[in-house]
Chains A and B, each alone.
Chain A
Amino acid sequence: MDYTSLALITAIPFLVAPIYDSIERKVKAAIQSRIGPLGLARSFLQSWFDLIKLFSKELVLTSYGMALITILELLFVSITVVILQIFLITPQLEWVIALLITFLSISSAFSLIRAISLDNPFSSIGAFREFYVTLAVEGFFLSSLAIMLLVEEPIIIKMLLFCIAALSCYVLSGRTPFDIAEAEPEIASGVYIELSGPLLATTSYSLHIRRYVLAEILSYTLLKLIGIAGTGFASLITLLLTPITWIVLGVVSVMLGRTRVDVGPITLLKVMLILIFLMFVAMIFVVRLV
């Protein structure tokens, strides 16, 4: 693959993530009996317009540390998406998988650090909520992803691993019912309360990229599940499947209400443990058969 194609593939997420978000907003609006972003251009580019507008606003800093963390969060999530695109081109390189999982974990940590670093009671509550949700799924997600990408397993185990990955991707994308860290009506946008203008734009852009990463991982694992991953054609399918996965996740969120911190994370943990238990049972069953 030449350098131009490589540059194009790695640039795709940075360009299309806000576009996918605009489409999600238009689809959600249709389900909710609203019009949503008006006109053809805005249906695809509204989130880009929002980001540009926010970037043009006055910069208000409540602390320099927060600005630094916000920029680092974007940096690490950007590195993650670049590695993901490299992995898509060269899925056979195991060190890329290791790097991807490491950077997924680091970018997630930065998102938590940004939330905790804000000196505001609403933000603190949001940060702890985000912490609980992340704690309930992150470990399961990364380990199931590693197993799925590195090891060839029987279909039953693949299916269980895919369930864990799918659920985790949904939860970590911060959609309803797991958007408790921002919960606008309750804690006045929680982890975003102190952010405005360019900083809010940076954080929103990070979130778009993060959602892209999760949607693409979910699309790839789906192909892996049906056994067509690992080829150039599969990579193309993954890229085409990503916006559909993104929209499906968005549509699911429209049908649900927001959970509570003492309900959602615990329920998630229970579901994850059940899935892990089933996987062990399946493994024992498979080993016995062999």
Chain B
Amino acid sequence: MSMKDVVKEIEGKVVEFGGVVETITDTAVFVEIPKERVKEFAKWLYNAGAFLKTCAGVDERSINSRFAVYHIFGLDEKGIDVVLRISSLEGEALPSIASEVPAAEWCELEARDMLGLHILGHESKPRLVLPQDWPNAVYPLRKDVPYDYRPPSSVENFGKELPSEVGLPVGPYHPILHEPEYFELYVEGERVVDVFYRGFHVHRGIEKLAESPRFTYKTIPFLAERICGICGFVHSSCYVLTVERAAKIEVPERAQFIRSIVLEIERIHSHLLWLGVAAHILGYDAGFMHIWRIREPIMVLAELLTGSRKTYGINIVGGVRRDIDESKKKKALDVLRNVREEFKRFVEVFTSVPEIVKRATGTGVLPKDDARALSVVGPTARGSGLRRDVRKDYPYFAYRLASFKVPVYSEGDNLARLLVRVDEVFESISIVEQLLDALPRGSIAVESYEIPSFRKAVGAVEAPRGEDVHFIITGHGRPYRWRVRAPTYQNIPALKIMLRNTPLADAFLTIASIDPCFSCTDRAVVIRDVRSGFRRFASLFEGRRYANK
């Protein structure tokens, strides 16, 4: 079925459900459906093979006096997004689609918390994103709430939502969690029977910050890159891709190649880092140390190509800020050749350590059906038999010109997710080599561009942890609404299934197996110097240092 036929079929269904097609672009169809029939339409889309990417609540009162929820579906096999809008006046109820599409649960709860939307079926559920001491009836993503609003804290609300039964606490600070999150494991002997999760301890309101007068389209890439300390380039890439799609900006081919190369380098170092962490969790510290040694030349390579080991800062709307010359190209190819050889030797040893194989096999199982229902992404999905990879399904930047395999394992256990990452390191090395060899000549950024207001676009980039999704409604000088959905956000709900019936010892490997990035999921803190009144945004750890002062 061609793209035209797919779009035609969607149009027909939209009319059948009494809706209207708002816009059709090369990569997405934007439709509006009456809220009474949204469940049926969502069910049809889901049954047609669509995955729910995320949903975004928007305060559109300054445009049309309404609140809207955008459900973003992706038809992976067809390579097209379907953005489904429903809206209501303030105080009116909106239906939930979580009963038909379980993956919608979290984003609907987030829209309820952040915008005060009345979403049917979620009324009695505890807060997902807002802290317990946040005042009632203050909804941070509403346009009338200042971006630097800081409510007074009231400690009496803390602890109200915790389950009465006491389990084994894991977090907010635990050796295995390198960022603060809270899991409570209920165990029988040494077997996990249930789990309670509380996240968003470090929610930094980054979406709201981007809508503030402090930021513009040009500066947001640098903010986006600070969403994550490991895969920040993914976020800045996804942001610029989304803005470029909304504004229909044609990015020079050379810039597209450079973005893809840096994205793959980021994937390699992220996967190598994860393998080290996995080895450490399994008590194999020799593996941990050696894989980080192998990773080091990749970090040096990133510095050579971008100027920084991390937080590269080379993405701008319309291109990149830094070029790759012939000498860098040659050095990069040498480094990749050595890393491939060393990594091959490492994998041979690593996968022959009996404790590693024994403990990763058959533990933390996520069946394919559950993976599908929760629309999990990245190695978590591919380890459960789902062939999902944005680079293949919705080719962007220079990926359509690269030849690579998408590793898929059907077992759904920790070993499957581990092997997906191992295979992906080899594939990524190959992609970088191909793209460096074929790097076209030309400019690296457009001369000028214009971004019209109230255009909508969805962008998705395959991060090391899976699909990163950004949704934008353009505004004057900056986005009217910028929604970021990190891969971990989509994968955490699956942990409840993966942890059940897992040996306690392997519960920690299971949590780590989705490669959780809580800073991505929770999302820079604005720092105000009380003496000078100067404000700027900062990373979480820098913020902590200021707090301690």
Closest to B176 in A: A185
Closest to A132 in B: B190
Question: Is the beta-carbon distance between A34 and B289 smaller than 8 angstroms?
Answer: yes
Q: Which residues of B contact A179 (CB under 8 A)?
A: 283
Question: Is the beta-carbon distance between B355 and A33 smaller than 8 angstroms?
Answer: no
Q: Which residues of A contact B289 (CB under 8 A)?
A: 32-34
B280 interface hit (Cβ, 8 Å):
yes
Q: CA of A188 to CA of B175 in the docked complex: distance in angstroms?
A: 6
Question: Is the beta-carbon distance between A258 and B355 smaller than 8 angstroms?
Answer: yes
Question: Is the beta-carbon distance between A184 and B175 smaller than 8 angstroms?
Answer: yes
Question: Is the beta-carbon distance between A256 and B353 smaller than 8 angstroms?
Answer: yes
Question: Is the beta-carbon distance between A258 and B282 smaller than 8 angstroms?
Answer: yes
B378 interface hit (Cβ, 8 Å):
no
Question: Is the beta-carbon distance between B508 and A33 smaller than 8 angstroms?
Answer: no
Q: CA of A254 to CA of B281 in the docked complex: distance in angstroms?
A: 14
A260-B283 contact, Cβ under 8 Å, with A33-B289, A33-B293, A121-B169: no
Closest to B293 in A: A33
Question: Is the beta-carbon distance between B175 and A260 smaller than 8 angstroms?
Answer: no
Q: CA of A259 to CA of B293 in the docked complex: distance in angstroms?
A: 25
A185-B175 contact, Cβ under 8 Å, with A254-B285, A257-B284, A260-B506: yes
Q: Which residues of A contact B422 (CB under 8 A)?
A: none
Q: Which residues of B contact A256 (CB under 8 A)?
A: 283-284, 353-355
- Bitwise, A257-278 to B at CB < 8 A (1) or not (0) is 1111111000000000000000
- Which of these, B174, B283, B284, B286, contacts A183 with CB under 8 Å? B283
A125-B281 contact, Cβ under 8 Å, with A32-B286, A254-B286, A262-B190: no
Q: Which residues of B contact A186 (CB under 8 A)?
A: 176, 281, 504-505, 507-508
Q: CA of A55 to CA of B13 in the docked complex: distance in angstroms?
A: 74
Question: Is the beta-carbon distance between B286 and A188 smaller than 8 angstroms?
Answer: no
**How many Å from the CB of A259 to the closest CB on chain B?**
6
A33-B290 contact, Cβ under 8 Å, with A257-B283, A258-B355: yes
A37 interface hit (Cβ, 8 Å):
no
- Bitwise, B169-185 to A at CB < 8 A (1) or not (0) is 10000111000000000
Q: CA of A256 to CA of B279 in the docked complex: distance in angstroms?
A: 10
Majority secondary structure of chain B interface residues (helix, strand, loop or mixed): helix
- Bitwise, A24-58 to B at CB < 8 A (1) or not (0) is 00000001111000000000000000000000000
Question: Is the beta-carbon distance between B175 and A259 smaller than 8 angstroms?
Answer: no
Q: CA of A286 to CA of B503 in the docked complex: distance in angstroms?
A: 45
Q: CA of A276 to CA of B498 in the docked complex: distance in angstroms?
A: 40
- Which of these, B168, B175, B290, B359, contacts A121 with CB under 8 Å? B168
Q: Which residues of A contact B174 (CB under 8 A)?
A: 188
B160 interface hit (Cβ, 8 Å):
no
A125-B286 contact, Cβ under 8 Å, with A33-B293, A185-B280, A185-B281: no
- Which of these, A31, A177, A189, contacts B283 with CB under 8 Å? A177
Within 8 A of B (CB), among A229-282: 254-263
**How many Å from the CB of A130 to the closest CB on chain B?**
13
Q: CA of A262 to CA of B283 in the docked complex: distance in angstroms?
A: 16
- Bitwise, B490-533 to A at CB < 8 A (1) or not (0) is 00000000000001111110000000000000000000000000
Question: Is the beta-carbon distance between B190 and A125 smaller than 8 angstroms?
Answer: yes
Q: Give the bracket for the number of chain A residues in contact with chain B.
A: 20 to 34
A176 interface hit (Cβ, 8 Å):
yes
A180 interface hit (Cβ, 8 Å):
yes
Q: Which residues of A contact B176 (CB under 8 A)?
A: 185-186
Report the tally of A-B residue pairs with Cβ distances under 8 A.
Answer: 81
B356 interface hit (Cβ, 8 Å):
yes
B4 interface hit (Cβ, 8 Å):
no
Q: Give the bracket for the number of chain B residues in contact with chain A.
A: 20 to 34
B125 interface hit (Cβ, 8 Å):
no
Question: Is the beta-carbon distance between B508 and A257 smaller than 8 angstroms?
Answer: no
**How many Å from the CB of B504 to the closest CB on chain A?**
7
Q: Which residues of A contact B508 (CB under 8 A)?
A: 185-186
Question: Is the beta-carbon distance between A258 and B283 smaller than 8 angstroms?
Answer: yes
A258-B175 contact, Cβ under 8 Å, with A121-B169, A177-B355, A186-B504: no
- Which of these, B281, B286, B504, B505, contacts A31 with CB under 8 Å? B286
Q: CA of A253 to CA of B375 in the docked complex: distance in angstroms?
A: 41
Q: CA of A280 to CA of B22 in the docked complex: distance in angstroms?
A: 84
Q: Which residues of A contact B358 (CB under 8 A)?
A: 259-260, 263
Closest to B290 in A: A33
Question: Is the beta-carbon distance between A176 and B505 smaller than 8 angstroms?
Answer: no
Question: Is the beta-carbon distance between B285 and A32 smaller than 8 angstroms?
Answer: yes
A257-B169 contact, Cβ under 8 Å, with A31-B286, A33-B290, A125-B504: no
Q: Which residues of A contact B288 (CB under 8 A)?
A: 32
- Which of these, A31, A33, A261, contacts B190 with CB under 8 Å? A261
Q: Which residues of A contact B169 (CB under 8 A)?
A: 121
Closest to A254 in B: B286
Closest to A256 in B: B355
Q: Which residues of A contact B285 (CB under 8 A)?
A: 32, 176, 254
Closest to B512 in A: A185
Q: CA of A262 to CA of B191 in the docked complex: distance in angstroms?
A: 10
Q: CA of A32 to CA of B176 in the docked complex: distance in angstroms?
A: 21
Q: Which residues of A contact B287 (CB under 8 A)?
A: 257
Closest to B357 in A: A257
Q: CA of A196 to CA of B358 in the docked complex: distance in angstroms?
A: 34
Question: Is the beta-carbon distance between B293 and A257 smaller than 8 angstroms?
Answer: no
Q: CA of A31 to CA of B284 in the docked complex: distance in angstroms?
A: 12
Closest to A122 in B: B168
Closest to B185 in A: A121
Sample (29) of A-B pairs whose CB atoms are under 8 Å apart: A32-B288, A32-B290, A33-B293, A122-B168, A125-B504, A176-B283, A176-B284, A177-B355, A179-B283, A183-B505, A185-B175, A185-B280, A186-B281, A186-B507, A188-B174, A255-B353, A256-B283, A256-B354, A256-B355, A257-B353, A258-B283, A258-B355, A258-B505, A259-B359, A260-B358, A260-B359, A260-B506, A261-B190, A262-B190
Which B residues are closer than 8 A to A by beta carbons? 168-169, 174-176, 190, 279-290, 293, 353-356, 358-359, 503-508
The 8 A-B pairs of least Cβ separation, nearest first, read A258-B283, A257-B355, A257-B284, A32-B289, A257-B282, A260-B505, A185-B281, A254-B286
Apart from A121-B169, A255-B286, A263-B359: 8 A-B pairs, beta carbons within 8 A? A32-B286, A185-B280, A188-B175, A254-B286, A257-B287, A257-B354, A258-B284, A258-B505
